[in-house]
C-alpha cells in the first residue's frame, strides 16, 4: 500500500517569506502525486499534480512542486507568502486499483499560518 508523510502539522511564515511544505511518499510503482488546499469549512481544491514528464510542476496561486524520485519527495513551495495562502494543505499519492481507476491516499495535512 502507498503512504504519504507530511512533515510538520503546522508551518508558520511571515508574509513575503518562502513557503516550503514537505511531503514524502512510499510507492512500489511510479507515483502520481497531488497537492490540495483546503480553506476552513470547504472542500479540497487541486493545486497541482505530477503524473509523468517534467519533474517541476507549476500550479495555481504561484505554487510549485518538484518530484524527486531519489528522495521520494514532492515538496510544495512558493517564493513569497500571502496572507490569503493561510489554509490546510494536503499531499496525496494515487494507487492503481485496476480498470483505469485510482484511489488517492492523503497525508495528514499541514496547516500554513501566515503572519503579517
Residues that bind other proteins (CB under 8 A): 9, 32, 34, 36, 41-46, 49, 51, 90, 92, 94, 96-97, 99-109
Element (H, E) at 113: strand 110-115
CB of residue 9 to other proteins, shortest distance in Å: 7
Helix residue ranges, H only, 4-113: none
CB of residue 103 to other proteins, shortest distance in Å: 6
C-alpha torsion 57→34→31→24, nearest 10? 90
Q: CB-wise, 62 or 104, nearer to other proteins?
A: 104
CB of residue 40 to other proteins, shortest distance in Å: 10
Element (H, E) at 56: strand 56-58
Q: Which among 39, 106, 33 is positioned nearest to 66, based on CA atoms?
A: 33
Q: CB-wise, 12 or 51, nearer to other proteins?
A: 51
Q: CB-wise, 40 or 116, nearer to other proteins?
A: 40
Amino acid at each position: 500500500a502507498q503512504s504519504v508523510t507530511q512533515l510538520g502539522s503546522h508551518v508558520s511564515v511571515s508574509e513575503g517569506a518562502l513557503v516550503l511544505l514537505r511531503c514524502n511518499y512510499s510507492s512500489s510503482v511510479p507515483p502520481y502525486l497531488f497537492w490540495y488546499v483546503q480553506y476552513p469549512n470547504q472542500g479540497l481544491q487541486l493545486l497541482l499534480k505530477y503524473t509523468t514528464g517534467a519533474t517541476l510542476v507549476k500550479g495555481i496561486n504561484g505554487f510549485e512542486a518538484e518530484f524527486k524520485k531519489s528522495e521520494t519527495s514532492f515538496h510544495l513551495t512558493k517564493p513569497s507568502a500571502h496572507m490569503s495562502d493561510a489554509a490546510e494543505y494536503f499531499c496525496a499519492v494515487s494507487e492503481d486499483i485496476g480498470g483505469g481507476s485510482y484511489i488517492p491516499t492523503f497525508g495528514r495535512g499541514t496547516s500554513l499560518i501566515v503572519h503579517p
